Amino acid sequence: MGERLGRIAAIAVKEIRQLSRDRLSLGMIIGIPLLQILLFGYAINLDVRHLPAGVADMANTELSRALIADAQASQVVNIRTRVTSAQALERLLRNGKIAVGIYIPPDFDRRVEDARRPAAQLLVDGSDPTILGIAEGLTGLSLPSRYRPAPAAMPLFAVHDEYNPERRSAVDIVPALIGVILNFTMVLFTAIAIVRERERGNLELLITTPVSTLELMSGKILPYIVIGLVQVTLVLLVGVWLFHVPLRGSLAGLYLASLLFIAAGLSLGLFISTLARTQFQAVQLTVFTFLPSILLSGFMFPFDGMPRFARWLGELLPLTHFVRLVRGIVLRGASLADMPADLWALLAFFAVFMGLAVLNFHKRLD
């Protein structure tokens, strides 16, 4: 019995020594729990405030200005722009510039006195049900007694859900799932691509060929681009057929945005493959990048509810920009021209990490 325990102890000591020499695995052991507790405990905030909002004040009276001031003081919305029509508010919503539009009609004062119907309207981007629920908090606003002395029979605001009137969660989740699935599969597949060649000994054969580093990287990612587009098609078909998700925008625009996102994910995967020495390490690094992408992209939690530093970090992640693009195209009917900043962000991410992968890859055996 003692000999058996001694052998077990010897194997355990050997495993600990191996782990201590594997700096990447040791970093994951410490880094993943720290990342999780920081993201869940601090960066994730369901008490969303300061939703980006626009105002169309067609009345422009003392009473309407008091309502706007009260809405701003509630901290539910942060009024960023003022426009002159409801159509302009709808355009800002479609382009993703605002999450809430406050429309005050020309006869606002008379509606307030009448108190038998809502005096103003809230146009809300219902593609995110969480935002819709938060914006509805404005319906509890009340004007000072000198403006509305008697209890109102109607709330001040009528809420209009612009893109998800049935308030189905699938309408919001399924389009963004395209990005989540691509983000994991594309990064994982390519992260182990170079590592697998090294472990199998195939890299020796590539070294003896005239293939350049850029050619090798490009050849590695081309098959996965096709796989990614097949996944996009599959999720779209299931979403439309089974979950009745509307497709309001251009299908060509959606595929172009998906192609850019796939390229960005593949470049990150290639960069990871140049850092990892084993397939296990490649999987570890993929998971390490996947968790922040899920939590900080706006897929699970409202992006505007996060602290500023978390939003800055989220802006560096390609999934954040693709979630905006896919929801804009599928649910709001926006075009790529309406969201140029997110397109440029994906292109920049691809260029940076493809360049780093090429520079970090040495066409030799370590």
Note the pLDDT tens digit of each residue in 163-219. Answer: 877 778 788 888 888 999 999 888 888 888 777 777 776 666 666 667 676 777 777
Mean pLDDT for 282-287 is 84
pLDDT at 39 over 80: no
Q: Where are the domains of the chain?
A: 51-161, 169-360
- What is the rounded distance in angstroms from the CA atom of residue 156 to the CA atom of residue 201? 71
Among 3.40.190, 2.60.40, 3.10.20, 2.40.160, what is the CATH number of 51-161? Answer: 3.40.190
pTM: 0.81
Mean pLDDT for 218-241 is 87
